[in-house]
Amino acid sequence: MGFGSPDTAILPRHPLIIGDRRLEQGSGGRHRHIYPANGRETCELTLGSADDVQSAVGAARSAFPAWRALAGNKRRDLLLKMASLIEQHAAEFAQLCTLENGSVSMVTPHIVVDAIQKFRYFAGWADKIQGETISSWGGPAHNYVSYEPYGVVGAIVPWNGPLFAATMVVTPALATGNCVVLKAPELAPFTVMRLGELFREAGFPAGVVNVIAGGAEVGEAMVKHPGIDKIQFVGSGATAKKVLQTAAESLKPCGLELGGKSAVIVFADADLQEAARRGLAGAVSVSGQGCVNGTRLLVERSIYEPYLKMLQGMSGHIRVGDPLNPATIMGPIISETSLQRILGIVGQAIKKDGARLVTGGERLSGDHADGYYLPLTILADVDTDSAVAQHEVFGPVLAVTPFDTEDEAIAMANGTSYGLGAYIHTQNLRRAHHVASQMQAGMVQVNGSGEGMQPYAPFGGMKQSGYGRLGGEQGLHEFLQTKNVWMNLANPQAAR
């Protein structure tokens, strides 16, 4: 399996799994999947269509009454069985992660472990969903609250982390008694397709989980369909606006986990070596194509130039190339279109907005010429109002800006329309708590760079980074509706 020659023998064969059927082609258009490491076709798929959504929703609605009524411990055991199956096929899933979007093999085993952990974590909740009794005023009554599934959840997940996002949504949805129609992204469908195949092998009843690989037509049909009770969307803000506009027609509830422009604040008292290493993570992780990546580095002025030199020195050790090579640290961009868009943003930042290019900025050639490769790119002296500081680049680009005071750093960090993540580097405990409390972000990490995203912790955004939470008990309740029942216990004879 050399550079530019991925093994496609492990690719799953079923882009659609609807009810008890595994389909090798849908009724939609054909799609050529391109492996971003070499620009060559991996395979051709016949995607799903609106008609396939109709069939999938019908299967899910038929399966829902029995799935909802199934005892929690039975749902728990099925989720645990699914975790074991993914574990058995871990090496296969890791390779599929690489083949679908170019994720490096240094990271893909961790993506698979995360998926396994989500199944096991939410399996533990399946038999512990309990209501509560509340007090009543004005006479004897029994007043209680119950939590019930929505019914059919439509899950739309992105190409940059399809396995991560799919398991983040599907595990709590299933644990709470919902059925699922899951859209696999056409740019990176393989791990979600394989996940769908394993659900049947694990013994999940037909129709409980339905998978459709498809494009915008499938997503739109899911949002419009009256048989889908809730949409959980993970993706871009631009697409989310279309989702909400369509969902508004039926007042369909939506959960949104969207993009980000996460700030990394580095104070002078931080461990600079560690802060620099972690500062690079925003560009290196998934080649910068992650919603919560820290891509804006705000650095206290007294350490600004030394910190830049550290970043520049470390960037020379970031090996970019074949994602199947265990020594590769950063892989390709998803497509030629995305690569050209990123290069345009970098060019504008330098030529129009006055940013200083520290390293990178040009497409890789030579052995990398056929793939979609951009080296780690660092821009210094970035104006906080410029496009590269305000908009999601979704590539291996870091925008670095100095600050003078704590208050200025807070204002800069909060000075975008996004609010997904924030990262703070300091050894001062008071400062860490204070700055964290001021961040307008759904996830804040102190002296970290991603470790806090665990199945047991709530994850989601503020402002235009979405709403709702995935993960933890809060994520469980995203897929439950609250019902209050009041029962009169007064003796009618006594009232006469």
CATH number of the domain that residue 340 is part of? 3.40.309.10
With a pLDDT cut of 70, the percent of the chain lying above it is 98
Average pLDDT, integer, range 465-472: 97
493 or 14, greater pLDDT: 14
Name the residue range of residue 327's domain: 262-446
Residues 251 and 302 in one domain: no
The reported pLDDT for the residue numbered 1 is: 38
Catalytic residue among 186, 257, 392, 478: 257
Give a yes or no: residue 197 inside a domain.
yes
Mean pLDDT of the chain: 96
| Residue whose C-alpha is closest to residue 1's, from 37, 28, 31, 30 | 37
Average pLDDT, integer, range 333-348: 97
Using the predicted structure, report yes or no on whether residue 213 has a pLDDT greater than 70.
yes
Using the predicted structure, report yes or no on whether residue 451 has a pLDDT greater than 90.
no
pLDDT, one tens digit per residue, over 54-107 is 999 999 999 999 999 999 999 999 999 999 999 999 999 999 999 999 999 999
The confidence band for 6, taking pLDDT boundaries of 50, 70 and 90, is confident
Q: What are phi and psi of 379, to 5 degrees?
A: -115, 125
The confidence band for 3, taking pLDDT boundaries of 50, 70 and 90, is low
Give a yes or no: residue 144 inside a domain.
yes
Residues 360 and 320 in one domain: yes
How many whole angstroms separate alpha carbon 19 and alpha carbon 64? 12
Q: What are phi and psi of 147, to 5 degrees?
A: -115, 125
Give a yes or no: residue 392 inside a domain.
yes
Using the predicted structure, report yes or no on whether residue 492 has a pLDDT greater than 80.
no
Residues 234 and 184 in one domain: yes
Average pLDDT, integer, range 162-179: 98
Residues 442 and 327 in one domain: yes
Using the predicted structure, report yes or no on whether residue 495 has a pLDDT greater than 60.
no
The confidence band for 493, taking pLDDT boundaries of 50, 70 and 90, is confident
Give a yes or no: residue 477 inside a domain.
yes
Give a yes or no: residue 487 inside a domain.
no
Give a yes or no: residue 298 inside a domain.
yes
The reported pLDDT for the residue numbered 2 is: 41
Residues 142 and 59 in one domain: yes
Is the pTM for the entire model greater than 0.85?
A: yes
Residues 343 and 428 in one domain: yes
Residues 294 and 435 in one domain: yes
The confidence band for 138, taking pLDDT boundaries of 50, 70 and 90, is confident
Give a yes or no: residue 453 inside a domain.
no
With a pLDDT cut of 90, the percent of the chain lying above it is 95
Domain CATH for 186 = 3.40.605.10
Residues 356 and 473 in one domain: no
Residues 270 and 209 in one domain: no
pLDDT, one tens digit per residue, over 284-327 is 999 999 999 999 999 999 999 999 999 999 999 999 999 999 99
The reported pLDDT for the residue numbered 496 is: 60
Using the predicted structure, report yes or no on whether residue 198 has a pLDDT greater than 50.
yes
Average pLDDT, integer, range 357-363: 97
Using the predicted structure, report yes or no on whether residue 450 has a pLDDT greater than 90.
no
Residues 60 and 163 in one domain: yes
Give a yes or no: residue 371 inside a domain.
yes
Q: What are phi and psi of 154, to 5 degrees?
A: -95, 120
Average pLDDT, integer, range 419-442: 98
The reported pLDDT for the residue numbered 139 is: 86
Using the predicted structure, report yes or no on whether residue 4 has a pLDDT greater than 80.
no
The number of distinct structural domains making up the chain is 2
Residues 361 and 394 in one domain: yes
30 contacts 37 by C-beta, under 8 angstroms:
no
Using the predicted structure, report yes or no on whether residue 376 has a pLDDT greater than 70.
yes
257 catalytic residue (yes or no): yes
Residues 141 and 272 in one domain: no
